[in-house]
């Protein structure tokens, strides 16, 4: 079997912030990989647009370096890279002023192609860009805008941003990116749930004991300290990425795999989420790495605020008040400087109602784990008899499907960004957040954050290289459960 590349219509993609970190690390290398895969039409153009003073030749040079540095190049030849760069242009532009807009307008006039504008700039410029696009006649009804995270920092700011964008664009034209939704396994989650008869009948409070979602990083805040300290794990990870994963694991089957049917069901999950009680959530800040205090300082040193109350780790328990999930806890956890880089969703099923085996055979539970990174794949723990004589002793063995192994060459490594950009060109919004979803997620998150502020709560320290605060383990232990080990 050979992977199928479905061609997309000719397009012009303008990357506002085209000289920035995200454009260099993800967007340009991703687009180059699509070019190599044969998915980029020959008439497509990529137009970098940023404040940096550059001409197209300078931008192509920068793009080539970024593609080489950030892994887009693979085994592609210099000629292939050159052919790609021939489709790349640059306009120096000021989102807040007049400079460059007439040039961009000229480039985009009457092309007859799909027009997409990627807002890869600071969120404070999103409104300016939308307004300028309209002023300069580029907000046609078929144009699409791609909006990066963070989308607001609370409900009020998200509502204001939605309102601003709605002044210039219809909801059908707005693609709010959450790159977690572009991950292969996240889509596989839907394929596993709704493409198999096996799981869905068991996917409810009657058979599921609890669900865990862990997104663990080994890195600290790095050079993003100042930005990160203004948001923290709740705003940076839980409100968007973990919430999206929770929605996909908990939602009802949509009637069709189409954007609004899927997003309607996700929205219902968010709206049915219980408020989180103060003792069902705990926060942490990482400590310095012993022996490496200089290069791996503690969180407060890293962000340059000795009194920071922002969390780099969070663990919480929530419930979904609906017929399917009533009584089933969902445990969410994410943090920096944890023991391994790993994102995993785990569905822990209940024990059998009655064991026919002797006491010492042990009680066992099926565990379905869906690994987002690394080693994307799905493992189902099944209980079997321990081989050999000596009676009926039970052990758990994994039925393991690592996609790279199971699919071989077909497990084409498509990065989330390149997949999502191609979806924008195709006009498919399924994997993008709708405005009401984002607002509902903030409506759930806001009271949690306000509670910390009102109570003056300070996160506790946890050791670098561990799996978070001791309180987070206590949160589970109190319920007679434990977190899955974070393993690479
Ligand atoms: P960056 O600071 O590296 O780049 C900013 C870009 O915006 C530069 O190209 C700069 O020239 C341009 N710019 C700044 N002011 C401008 C103006 N007035 N007019 C025109 N262009 C202007 O930022 P980044 O890290 O690339 O992030 C871009 C967006 O993507 C942000 O919203 C960020 O939150 C989001 N994001 C970034 C990452 C990442 O890994 N970098 C991850 C997720 C989301």
pLDDT in tens, 21-44: 999 999 999 999 999 999 999 999
- How many residues are given for the chain? 488
Angle between helix 56-69 and helix 78-85 axes, rounded to 10 deg: 140
- The kind and range of the H/E element at 55 are none
pLDDT value at position 355? 85
**Contact at 8 Å (CB) between 81 and 43?**
no
Find the 315 Cα to ligand 1 centroid distance in Å.
Answer: 29
**Contact at 8 Å (CB) between 335 and 216?**
yes
Q: Which of 14, 16, 17 to mutate to test the pocket of ligand 1 (most atoms within 8 A of CB)?
A: 17
CA distances from residue 337 to 216, 374, 442, 468 in whole angstroms, order as listed: 8, 16, 26, 9
Using CB atoms within 10 Å of the CB of residue 66, give its burial: 0 to 12 exposed, 13 to 18 middle, 19+ buried: buried
Find the 269 Cα to ligand 1 centroid distance in Å.
Answer: 32
SS3 of residue 50 by DSSP: strand
**Contact at 8 Å (CB) between 174 and 435?**
yes
pLDDT value at position 1? 46
- The kind and range of the H/E element at 440 are helix 435-455
pLDDT value at position 409? 57
Read off φ and ψ for residue 16, nearest 5 degrees: -70, 130
CA distances from residue 328 to 28, 137, 148, 161, 216 in whole angstroms, order as listed: 42, 51, 33, 34, 23
**Contact at 8 Å (CB) between 330 and 211?**
yes
State yes or no: is 354 an active-site residue: no
CB atoms within 10 A of CB 158: 23
What's the whole-model pTM score? Answer: 0.94
Alpha carbon distance 90, 100 (integer Å)? 10
Atom of ligand 1 nearest to the CA of 50: 21
Determine the Cα angle at 177 with ends 16 and 285, to 5°: 105
Enter the tokens of residue 234.
Answer: 């709740």
CB atoms within 10 A of CB 392: 11
Find the 26 Cα to ligand 1 centroid distance in Å.
Answer: 12
Instruction: List the residue whose alpha carbon is closest to atom 12 of ligand 1.
Output: 17
SS3 of residue 61 by DSSP: helix
Alpha carbon distance 466, 381 (integer Å)? 25
Q: What is the pLDDT of residues 250-275, one digit of tens each?
A: 999 999 999 999 999 999 999 999 99
Alpha carbon distance 413, 483 (integer Å)? 29
Cis status of the peptide bond prior to 150, with omega within 30 of 0? yes
Find the 240 Cα to ligand 1 centroid distance in Å.
Answer: 19
pLDDT value at position 413? 67
Residues in contact with ligand 1 (CB, 6 Å cut-off): 17-23, 50-52, 93-96, 120-123, 125, 148-150
Find the 50 Cα to ligand 1 centroid distance in Å.
Answer: 9
Alpha carbon distance 285, 466 (integer Å)? 12
pLDDT value at position 125? 97
Q: Which of 18, 20, 59 to mutate to test the pocket of ligand 1 (most atoms within 8 A of CB)?
A: 20
Residue 467: partners with Cβ closer than 8 Å, 6 or more residues away: 216, 338, 339, 473, 483, 485, 486
Q: Which of 121, 150, 153 to mutate to test the pocket of ligand 1 (most atoms within 8 A of CB)?
A: 121
Residue-range domains of the chain with CATH: 11-148 (3.40.50.720), 181-477 (3.30.360.10)
Alpha carbon distance 247, 238 (integer Å)? 12
Q: What is the pLDDT along the chain (488 residues), one digit of tens a residue?
A: 445 788 899 999 999 999 999 999 999 999 999 999 999 999 999 999 999 999 999 999 999 999 999 986 777 889 999 999 999 999 999 999 999 999 999 999 989 999 999 999 999 999 999 999 999 999 999 999 999 999 999 999 999 999 999 999 999 999 999 999 998 888 889 999 999 999 999 999 999 999 999 999 999 998 889 999 999 999 999 999 999 999 999 999 999 999 999 999 999 999 999 999 999 999 999 999 888 888 899 999 999 999 999 999 999 999 999 999 999 999 999 999 999 999 999 999 999 988 888 777 777 899 999 998 888 888 999 888 888 887 788 888 888 877 677 766 555 667 899 999 999 999 999 999 999 999 999 999 999 999 999 999 999 999 999 999 999 999 999 999 999 999 88
Atom of ligand 1 nearest to the CA of 93: 20
Alpha-carbon torsion angle 294, 459, 281, 465, nearest 10: 20
């Amino acid at each position: 079997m050979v992977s199928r590349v479905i061609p997309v219509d000719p397009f012009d993609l303008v990357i506002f912030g085209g000289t920035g970190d995200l454009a260099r690390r993800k967007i340009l290398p991703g687009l180059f990989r699509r070019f190599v895969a044969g998915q980029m039409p020959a008439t497509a153009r990529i137009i970098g647009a940023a404040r940096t003073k550059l001409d197209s030749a300078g931008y192509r040079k920068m793009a080539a370096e970024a593609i080489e540095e950030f892994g887009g190049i693979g085994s592609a030849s210099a000629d292939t890279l050159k052919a790609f760069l021939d489709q790349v242009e640059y306009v120096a532009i000021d989102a807040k002023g007049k400079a460059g807009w007439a040039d961009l307008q000229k480039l985009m006039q009457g092309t007859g192609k799909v027009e997409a504008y990627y807002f890869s700039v600071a969120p404070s410029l999103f409104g300016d860009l939308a307004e300028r696009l309209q002023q300069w006649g580029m907000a046609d009804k078929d144009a699409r805008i791609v909006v990066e995270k963070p989308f607001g920092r609370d409900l009020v700011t998200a509502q204001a941003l939605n309102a601003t964008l709605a002044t210039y664009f219809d909801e059908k034209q707005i693609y709010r990116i959450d790159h977690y939704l572009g991950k292969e396994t996240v889509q596989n989650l839907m394929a596993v749930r709704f493409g198999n008869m096996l799981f869905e009948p068991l996917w409810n409070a009657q058979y599921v004991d609890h669900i865990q979602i862990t997104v663990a990083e080994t890195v600290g805040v790095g050079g993003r300290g100042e930005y990160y300290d203004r948001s923290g794990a709740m705003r940076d990870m839980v409100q968007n990425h973990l919430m999206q994963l929770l929605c996909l694991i908990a939602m009802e089957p949509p009637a069709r795999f189409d954007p609004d049917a899927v997003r309607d069901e996700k929205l219902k999950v968010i709206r049915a989420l219980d408020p989180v009680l103060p003792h069902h959530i705990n926060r942490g800040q990482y400590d310095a790495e012993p022996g490496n205090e200089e290069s791996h300082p503690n969180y407060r040193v890293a962000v340059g605020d000795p009194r920071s109350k922002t969390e780099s780790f969070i663990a919480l328990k929530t419930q979904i008040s609906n017929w399917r999930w009533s009584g089933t806890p969902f445990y969410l956890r994410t943090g920096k400087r944890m023991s391994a880089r790993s994102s995993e969703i785990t569905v822990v099923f209940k024990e059998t109602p009655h064991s026919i085996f002797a006491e010492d055979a042990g009680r066992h539970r099926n565990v379905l784990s869906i690994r987002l990174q690394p080693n994307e794949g799905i493992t189902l723990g099944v209980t079997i008899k321990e081989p050999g004589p000596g009676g009926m002793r039970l052990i758990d063995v994994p039925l393991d499907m690592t996609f790279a192994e199971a699919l071989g060459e077909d497990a084409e490594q498509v990065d989330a960004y390149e997949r999502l950009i191609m979806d924008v060109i195709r006009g498919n919004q399924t994997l993008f957040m709708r405005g009401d979803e984002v607002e509902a997620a903030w409506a759930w998150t806001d009271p949690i954050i306000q509670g910390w502020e009102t109570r003056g709560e300070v996160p506790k320290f946890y050791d670098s290289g561990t799996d978070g605060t001791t309180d987070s383990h206590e949160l589970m232990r109190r319920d007679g459960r434990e977190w899955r080990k974070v393993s690479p």
